[in-house]
Chains A and B, each alone.
Chain A
């Protein structure tokens, strides 16, 4: 099939899709770059002309910048930690033969199909509400004062919501990795005198290392862009303003497209640094 002729035919047929993807990606990117060097305030005078790199300086020197970076890192790190630790445990649990395995696996994966906005609203109104939430009933049942989750521990609450969404993804990838572990290896380790914990530490965990790296890579890229969960819960208040949310505020709340675009360019650079860094780890893992 792979003759010269069929290969060029394939290229021609792929071209429209590739072209569409390129335009889809390049147009917003170019517009972001263009706006980032202009002083553009739609409701306060419109496009006020070229300002060079001034937006970039102002975005970073703003008092909201470093706290936003810190919040972003805490949320990304927290979600990664929770989803991987619980994900490994759940994957091991789901790998055990049990009755109704198929149904249980689908149920575990289900949260991944719920839209971020919806799940955040469900958490906010049905679980974390200090008056009517399920948590407040549980706290009251034990005689404790209900926690006002979103204002008393806002960052933790958001980590919890986002972890709930991403746990299924981590579980799914880790489960497939665990299933590919050769059972004879575990049996060999058992005969070699390794107890359950040693078998986990010496055989299962190293076997999972590549899957864990991939989960970290993919989740980090998506978690850097977490937005809906913050928008519908705290609205960026109580120290939950991430870099993404700060950009949103600059563009829509302050109506300063130029400043927001400069933040967007920073976000692109940051995401690319993470991606390159993690790709190298994955590449190294694949060499083994």
Chain B
């Protein structure tokens, strides 16, 4: 079981309130991702749940029991750190065994759990090596192994993939998702990378300056962002935001249209513009277009990889009206 409830949890460092009172419920077995720009308080929130930071107010409940004052080790949570935090002077086996050794679990049970974790994480051949002799991805797996053997109520991940290169990051993303499916344990995952959030989460929590901007499934956030911040943060490439006449015509202060929801034509359309940079990904091409009405602005458009356009070409853009997001002066979505 791993149902975590935050009730008016607040955190201040001295006079600076980094997290104003915040409510959040994480259901058992959910994969929740905290996402937001750096400095938004997502790591602090995770450390509050872990117990590595003391809350300044409010209550944290784990499976209904008040855990606000419970020391980290007794909360039944396991954490994977950004730097992996492996113990460099211990072998992989001893690293994985460490939490069990601290808990006083008998040797036979320790060995059994180490073997099964090593098998699940492809670490069997590396058990007698030291962390310094492993690659980044292997170290990451050891850190996960050390978390698994504790059989925790929930796993906490603090930007675990940010030290890996792009190819490994993709592989580890899949491995962690698979692990979640297999263990069916609550996982809380902190990242600043919205791609990780979109691909892994059951539920995304978007944070800005310690405030929860929106909670929802990846597609909810993509389709119905509650405000302009979430709209700009979720989705890649980012949403085009337009103000002025185009927005006023639709009864909004700002309108947003995603690059994939703009139709491009070489003959006619709503907005005329000039092609700037074209990013060819093969399957898709991202065109950065400077509208003639204001050439200093850039609109991004996602087109099929077969579409050919060159720097300086003139094109017409037409937004798909049903996909336009409207926001009022406060940045809130207009229904």
Tell me the A residues contacting B by CB distance below 8 Å: 182, 184-185, 187-194, 198, 202-203, 206-207, 209, 288
Contacts and interface: CB of A to CB of B under 8 A. Distances in A.
Contacts of B81: 184, 187-188
B132 A189 contact: no
Contacts of A209: 89
B79 interface: yes
16 contacts: A182-B83, A184-B83, A185-B85, A187-B79, A188-B79, A189-B98, A190-B52, A191-B77, A192-B98, A192-B102, A193-B73, A193-B103, A194-B98, A207-B88, A288-B89, A288-B130
B79 A191 contact: yes
B102 A194 contact: yes
Nearest to A190: B72
Nearest to B130: A288
A182 B85 contact: yes
Given A191-B52, A191-B77, A191-B78, A203 B87 contact: yes
A288 B87 contact: no
Given A198-B102, A206-B89, A288-B89, A192 B150 contact: yes
B89 A192 contact: no
A288 B133 CA distance: 10
Given A191-B73, A194-B102, A184 B85 contact: yes
Size category, B interface: 20 to 34
B136 to A, nearest CB: 15
A77 B78 CA distance: 44
Nearest to B146: A192
Among all A-B residue pairs, the 7 with the closest Cβ atoms = A192-B99, A188-B85, A193-B73, A193-B102, A184-B85, A206-B89, A184-B81
A209 to B, nearest CB: 8
Contacts of B87: 185, 188-189, 202-203, 206
A194 B99 CA distance: 8
B285 interface: no
A188 B90 CA distance: 14
Given A190-B73, A191-B51, A288-B132, 19 more contacts: A182-B83, A182-B85, A184-B82, A185-B86, A187-B52, A187-B79, A187-B81, A188-B79, A190-B52, A190-B71, A192-B150, A193-B103, A194-B98, A198-B102, A206-B89, A207-B88, A207-B89, A209-B89, A288-B130
Nearest to A194: B102
A202 B102 CA distance: 11
Interface in B143-179: 146, 150
Contacts, number: 60
A61 to B, nearest CB: 47
Contacts of B86: 185
B50 interface: yes
A251 to B, nearest CB: 47
Contacts of A207: 88-89
Nearest to B132: A288
Nearest to B81: A184
B80 to A, nearest CB: 9
Contacts of A194: 73, 98, 102
A245 to B, nearest CB: 40
Given A192-B102, A193-B99, A198-B102, A187 B89 contact: no
A207 B88 CA distance: 8
A161 to B, nearest CB: 35
Contacts of A192: 73, 98-99, 102, 146, 150
Contacts of B52: 187, 190-191
A202 B83 contact: no
A184 B83 CA distance: 7
Contacts of B98: 189, 192, 194, 202
Contacts of A191: 50-52, 72-73, 77-79, 99
B322 to A, nearest CB: 47
Most buried by B among A189, A193, A202, A206: A193
Most buried by B among A185, A191, A194, A288: A191
A185 B146 CA distance: 13
B263 to A, nearest CB: 49
Most buried by B among A189, A207, A209: A189
Interface in B29-80: 50-52, 71-73, 77-79
